[in-house]
């Protein structure tokens, strides 16, 4: 992932979506060859010279002040996730950053104990590549189709784009796919030198046209809270509320802990309770089978 091309494509796609009217400008004279704002219009809105903005959009972002980046973010009407992404790209453009393969994060036992103590909600812990590195019993049951892939760690993005069952598991597959690609794009801006992430994006881009299309959109997202619908193969449809929060680790990368709960008194709460019973029964059967073999 070349940083200059990332900056160029990100700024160009953000510029293309804003009309002069949306930016508060009078319609420009003549016919427009491209949608959205012209570079010189962004420069005017940001209070910089046209030549300077053209240079910025070509990827020359190292050393640009935070004040100027803020002005560009306002001119392009970037949301919170997009603004953070622009600043991440600027940090990544600074010299002396080497390509690295981060060490595997070791989830400390006390973190797993915490997840296990949350009995009535499904909980998973993810890194920025969407690897599931820890889960409580109900979280593992909820994402059981993802864990069916023998590769470890189980990866939500790989399941989303490469496993045909994902379209059943996610009734709103398009929305879920958009979110997944945007989360990976956000992580790529935060750390473009993560070789594991580059390998994952290369795999998805090679195999999945659906991923390639979404990756080219340069959309980013901060995933904090919302409602997600699953169609689970065991208990059927679940409408779950999720909240995500940062979970610091002792390794190179932090995790995001996501907790899924159901609204009390709903069919989804009944289904989640049934899923918990199924998970407990399945776990007991595995323990019994292990005991018989020993």
Both tokens assigned to 271: 């289904």
Q: How do the domains of the chain map onto residue ranges?
A: 3-92, 109-293
| 3-state DSSP percent of the chain in helix, strand and coil, to 5 | 50, 15, 35
CA angle 37, 39, 44 (to 5 degrees): 90
Q: Would you place residue 288 in the very low, low, confident or very high pLDDT band (cuts 50, 70, 90)?
A: low
For residue 107, the model assigns a pLDDT of: 77
CA 251 to mean position of chain CA atoms: 20
CATH (residue range 3-92): 1.10.260.40
In the structure encoding, which two tokens stand for residue 254, read together? 């932090």
Instruction: Say which residue the tokens 């999945």 belong to.
Output: 208
**1 alpha-carbon distance from chain centroid:** 17
- Write down the pLDDT at residue 181: 97
Q: What is the pLDDT of residues 169-212, one digit of tens each?
A: 999 999 999 999 999 999 999 888 889 999 999 999 999 999 99
Q: Report in angstroms the alpha-carbon separations of 235 from 130, 135, 151, 269, 274.
A: 24, 19, 25, 11, 7
What is the dihedral angle through the alpha carbons of 27, 28, 32, 34, rounded to the nearest 10 degrees? -80
As a whole-number percent, the residues of the chain with pLDDT over 70 amount to 88
94-131 pLDDT per residue, tens: 765 555 545 555 677 888 888 999 988 999 999 999 99
Instruction: For residues 90 and 65, give the distance between their C-alpha atoms in angstroms, rounded to a whole number.
Output: 9
- Identify which has the larger pLDDT, 115 or 287: 115
Give me the chain's average pLDDT, please.
89
Nearest to 258 by CA among 238, 272, 242: 242
Q: How many helices (H) and strands (E) does the chain have?
A: 14, 6
Q: What is the DSSP string of 106-174?
A: ---HHHHHHHHH--SSEEEEE-TT-EEEEE-HHHHHHTHHHHTSSSSSEEHHHHHHH-TTHHHH-SSHH
Q: What is the CA radius of gyration of the chain?
A: 22
Identify the CATH number of the domain defined by range 109-293.
3.30.450.180
233-275 residue pLDDT tens: 999 999 999 999 988 776 656 789 999 999 999 999 999 999 9
């Amino acid at each position: 992932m070349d940083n200059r091309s990332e900056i160029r494509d990100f700024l160009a796609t953000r510029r293309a979506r804003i009309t002069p009217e949306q930016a508060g400008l009078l319609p420009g004279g003549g016919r427009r060859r491209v949608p959205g704002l012209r570079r010189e219009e962004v420069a005017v809105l940001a209070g910089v010279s046209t030549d300077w903005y053209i240079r910025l959009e070509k990827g020359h972002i190292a050393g640009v002040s935070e004040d100027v980046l803020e002005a560009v973010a306002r001119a392009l009407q970037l949301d919170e996730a997009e603004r953070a992404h622009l600043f991440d790209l600027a940090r990544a453009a600074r010299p002396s950053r080497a390509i690295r393969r981060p060490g595997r994060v070791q989830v400390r036992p006390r973190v797993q104990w915490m997840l296990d103590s949350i009995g009535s909600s499904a909980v998973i812990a993810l890194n920025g590549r969407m690897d599931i590195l820890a889960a409580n019993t109900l979280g593992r049951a909820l994402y059981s189709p993802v864990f069916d892939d023998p590769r470890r760690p189980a990866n939500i993005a790989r399941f989303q784009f490469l496993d045909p069952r994902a379209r059943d598991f996610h009734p709103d597959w398009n929305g879920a796919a958009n979110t997944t690609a945007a989360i990976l794009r956000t992580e790529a801006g935060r750390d473009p030198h993560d070789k594991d992430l580059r390998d994952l994006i290369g795999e998805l881009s090679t195999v999945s046209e659906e991923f390639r299309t979404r990756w080219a959109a340069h959309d980013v997202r901060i995933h904090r809270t919302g409602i997600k619908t699953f169609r689970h193969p065991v208990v059927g449809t679940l409408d779950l509320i999720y909240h995500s929060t940062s979970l610091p680790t002792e390794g190179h990368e932090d995790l995001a802990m996501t907790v899924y709960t159901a609204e009390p008194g709903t069919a989804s709460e009944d289904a989640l309770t049934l899923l918990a019973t199924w998970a407990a029964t399945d776990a007991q059967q595995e323990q019994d089978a292990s005991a018989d073999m020993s």
